[in-house]
Amino acid sequence: MSIWAALAGGFVGTLVLTTGLRAANTFNLTRIDLPFLLGTAFTSDRTRAKALGYGAHFVNGLVFALLYYAVFAAIGYSSWWLGTVFGLVHGLFAATALVNILLPLVHPRMGTSQTSAPEVALLEPPGFLMLNYGRGTPTVTLAAHLAYGTIVGGFLTWPG
């Protein structure tokens, strides 16, 4: 197990996660666009928001990979299947607390249940399990995070 393996796994895992979510959006399985959601926290310009959002999403992917590494190191064990379990917890966290509690606190363009009629929110709040972005969103998001966790766990286990 090494930090470099965690970062490599985080990069590949984030690439797979982001590509999976983008494909699901293209095939109308979900309306969620996590990089756009992140990017609009920094700018209202749609093109810049997407670029900044993809950068932020990849940085977040590397940070989460380092968190996975820290937990694996603390317990003295790593595996692809334990990474999958971490991905499950990560996905549930992302679909609940992250987008519904933490992100609205700092996102200047996201509506909330307290947004009044005269206020203009540029983004719809995701809602529980991000269901406001479509019925397939929880399944797609969870599958993408399971893949991410499996990849990071696999990178931290290899070649063992």
Section 34-51 average pLDDT: 88
Q: How many H-runs (helices) and E-runs (strands) does the chain carry?
A: 6, 0
Contact by Cβ (8 Å): 65, 10: yes
The confidence score (pLDDT) of residue 82 equals 96
Tell me the per-residue pLDDT of 79-101, one tens digit each, with 9 for 90 and over: 999 999 999 999 998 888 887 77
The confidence score (pLDDT) of residue 57 equals 93
Per the DSSP assignment, residues forming a β-bridge with 110 are 123
What pTM did the predictor assign?
0.86
CA distance 35 to 47: 11
pLDDT at residue 119 tops 70: no
Residue 126: CB atoms within 10 Å: 24
**Domain extents for the chain?**
3-157
Section 109-137 average pLDDT: 73
